[in-house]
Structure 1
Amino acid sequence: MRSTSDVVVIGGGIIGSAAAYFLASSPDFNGTVTVVEKDSSYQKCSTTLSAASIRQQFSTRENIEISLFGIQFLRNLNQYLGIEESLANNTPHDIGLQEKGYLLLASPAGADILHRNNKLQTELGADISLLPSSILQERFPWMNCEDLALGSLGNSGEGWFDAYSLLQLFKAKNKSLAVTYINDEVTGLKSGQQNGSEQITHARLRSGQEIAGKYFINAAGPAAASIASMAGINLPVESRKRCVFVFNCRDQITNCPLVVDPSGAYFRPEGHNFICGISPQEGNDPACNDFDVDYSLFEDVLWPTLAHRVPAFESIKQVNAWAGHYAYNLLDQNVILGPSPQIGNLLFANGFSGHGLQQAPAVGRALSELILYGSYRELDLSVFNFERILQNKPVKELNVI
């Protein structure tokens, strides 16, 4: 079987679905969009297994601007993703957005970085305050602040939400816009010479179907390198496992933001419990495809760190855990965005390294602009282009969590 679509999106998670939405909803787009997703249940999708949060506390201008649009999108979901039936019934969409902030903590050695980052963040309009350790202790009396010099707190525009609900809203809206979702897996890309250059012409699916297209978007998350290799392109993105642990604390901890310890460990409230995690140490973070939880990470690393920062966390009980995957960009842990220099109609949106969920609205919009106009319109995200990979020129982002 063969079918044709103007745009073929490979990967139906949050990035692929956001790209499909911004294309299909644009008055300047008169074509068709097909999204191919191999796991329609999304049980092992990076979107649904993430810690589901958003922040403006980055060190790179473009990352800050991306998340500023992201929070505006989340605050105005019904404006973007509302469908006629829900609007007619006056049932606004709710993804449980809680703007309780990120709190990035710094020892004396890390205080200068927070100061430099805060200057740029506030210049761009982010609502971030710097709090010395004495104020931190007043605001958060349950926290050990003795070894801290500074904290950077998002007063608004930062927090967490229900990632699965957001993804389902994107899908429902897309289907109302005539976007086609196919439960299948891309197993090959066919190319040929068109208009004097190499172009992708078809995507082959595991079912045997082929889809012809004018544009192809690689939104395959941790599997992105495999898709790129089908076009003969080396994409430095690997699947890296990240474990999230749920624990219960007997003592009441109030007014708790998402806290990032100087060690890199994070925790935040989740209902009556808390969730937490930490990236493995460099050298102990191999590429992998399994979803086995490393419980020793909680016992040996996280628990002692949490108990040091919050004395009440000495008496906690781990009650649940899961493992998800980062699409880890080996060069600089930032997104690789836009067309390949070798194949102009193959666009990449890969290697978010844990930032994909919060960056999906801006990146989806950017991909639609590249297809519709051949350039960025709202945000210039050319700093994340594919050429930097070929030239080995990383974009330095200090706040990778």
Structure 2
Amino acid sequence: MTQIPAHSSYDVVIVGGAIYGSSVAWWLTRMPGFQGRVLVVERDPSYEFASTSHTNSCIRQQFTNETNIRISQFGAEFIKGFRDFMGGDPQVPHLTLQSFGYMYLADTPAFAQSLKAAQAVQASLGASTRHMTPGEIAADYPFYNLGDIVAANHNRVDEGYFDGGTMFDWFKRMARRGGVEYIANEVTGMTLNAARTAVESVTLASSHEVSCGTVVNASGPRAVLTARMAGLDIPVEPRKRYTYIFDAKHPLDRDLPLTIDPSGVHMRTDGRYYMAGGPPDDDPPVDVDDFAADHGLWESKIWPAVATRIPQFEEIRLVNMWVGHYAYNTLDQNAIVGPDPQVGNFVFVNGFSGHGLQQSPAIGRGVAELIAYGAYRSLDLGAFGVERVLTGKVFLEQAVI
């Protein structure tokens, strides 16, 4: 049922209430001195098709860019101290970070050298990533077929799986408790001032017009549609990503790290089951409402890669599968964060290309600082600014999955 806003004017209007809309909203309630009125507009409060609902809920330290590594380090700190960050309320559950780690497998000397260089960067920032020989991999994980593998990187500290759904749920709950208003409605238009330097108001599907001090684009794969309402554009498009849950007739005797196979397929432990996934070989942009599955992808790509890498998985049973969307940044597959240089009160928090859930604690905090104080205070996220999109300057991150 469509809901109408309680007021005609808000200091902050957030377009989209999934993980980023709710993270920014909650962090705003934690900014000392910020007393602004905040409205979150969510077109589908069931979040059935939101990228947040289709996430695999993993976090890794294994990036190659210092900013991304530090974002994940704070993410791990946030997960492990979740209740304390939420104010110590005993109703807030503790979150567990199951640190089985990511295992990047290299099948060429050049790839192995890239992993070694990445490990050096990560180690310099305090990450526990190991660069491993095939013999070392086999000693720890004897179930892998390593015939074509020359090296790997692995990290079992603050890297693995956590309950992203619970984190999201409490972002919403605590944002509401802090005074943020959520409505089931949809932003359908924006009115700019005469100089086109600021959004003055947003129009809702219910025909209500709401004045605003700041607009936050937190609309995931729909980011371009929201930006265009303000006369702006960003290189973000929906792309399909497939996830499969399977049971193994011969389960492994230890946790399976989130293994990044050279084929592009990834696989990991998922409770008593296992999870695998990857992109289709043909990976075009899709319509924001297109969640149709390619049912041949499992047989043609995913399962062959899984069974080749782990022969114990030759006898498995598919239990479940789903299709989700990456909000895919076609420039460099990294976040676009911060105000537009022309329409200064329009703030982007878009284009995470699969990194969104794990980066939401740090980036939600940073965007809230930007809105409340006009600058980043905890971690400088300036490298993600939209200016690089306008100039075509790539944010270099080699560890994109």
Q: TM-score, normalised by structure 2?
A: 0.95
Q: CA deviation at 1:266?
A: 0.5
User: Secondary structure of the residue that 2:99 maps to in structure 1?
Assistant: coil
Correspondence list, 1:227-306, <5 A: 227-253=226-252, 254-281=254-281, 283-289=282-288, 290-306=290-306
Cα distance in 2 for partners of 1:100, 1:377 equals 32
Give the match for residue 102 of structure 1.
Answer: 102
Q: CA deviation at 1:373?
A: 2.1
* 2:379 aligned with 1:362: no
Give the match for residue 211 of structure 2.
Answer: 212
Give the match for residue 397 of structure 2.
Answer: 397
Q: CA deviation at 1:197?
A: 6.3
* 2:67 aligned with 1:62: yes
Cα distance in 1 for partners of 2:96, 2:302 equals 27
Q: CA deviation at 1:82?
A: 4.5
Cα distance in 1 for partners of 2:396, 2:295 equals 32
Give the match for residue 145 of structure 1.
Answer: 146
Give the match for residue 388 of structure 1.
Answer: 388
Runs of 5+ consecutive residues of structure 2 not aligned to the other structure: none
Cα distance in 1 for partners of 2:92, 2:20 equals 23
Give the match for residue 118 of structure 1.
Answer: 119
The answer to whether the 8 Å contact 1:333/1:353 transfers is yes
Distance 1:255 1:270, change over 3 A: closer
The match for 1:78 among 40, 62, 83 is 83
Give the match for residue 184 of structure 1.
Answer: 185
The amino acid that maps onto 2:164 is: A
Q: CA deviation at 1:313?
A: 1.2
Give the match for residue 222 of structure 2.
Answer: 223
Give the match for residue 45 of structure 2.
Answer: 40
The amino acid that maps onto 1:42 is: Y
User: Secondary structure of the residue that 1:48 maps to in structure 2?
Assistant: helix
User: Secondary structure of the residue that 1:198 maps to in structure 2?
Assistant: coil
Cα distance in 2 for partners of 1:92, 1:380 equals 29
Q: CA deviation at 1:45?
A: 1.0
Correspondence list, 1:308-387, <5 A: 308-387=308-387
Cα distance in 1 for partners of 2:128, 2:214 equals 38
Q: CA deviation at 1:280?
A: 2.4
Q: TM-score, normalised by structure 1?
A: 0.95
Distance 1:285 1:96, change over 3 A: farther
The amino acid that maps onto 1:297 is: L
User: Secondary structure of the residue that 2:299 maps to in structure 1?
Assistant: helix
Q: Which aligned runs of 4 or more in structure 1 are off by greater than 6 angstroms?
A: none
1:5-27 Cα deviation digits (max 9, x unpaired): 11111111111111111111111
The answer to whether the 8 Å contact 2:16/2:217 transfers is yes
Aligned residues with identical type, % of pairs: 41
Cα distance in 1 for partners of 2:64, 2:329 equals 17
Q: CA deviation at 1:267?
A: 0.6
Give the match for residue 202 of structure 1.
Answer: 201
Query: How many correspondences in the alignment?
Result: 393
The amino acid that maps onto 1:182 is: I
Q: CA deviation at 1:374?
A: 1.7
The answer to whether the 8 Å contact 1:242/1:323 transfers is yes
Cα distance in 1 for partners of 2:360, 2:144 equals 33
Cα distance in 2 for partners of 1:361, 1:272 equals 28
Runs of 5+ consecutive residues of structure 1 not aligned to the other structure: none
Q: CA deviation at 1:92?
A: 4.7
1:71-126 Cα deviation digits (max 9, x unpaired): 11111110112564xx2xxx551445312111111113310110111111111111
User: Secondary structure of the residue that 1:23 maps to in structure 2?
Assistant: helix
Q: CA deviation at 1:288?
A: 3.0
Q: CA deviation at 1:177?
A: 0.5
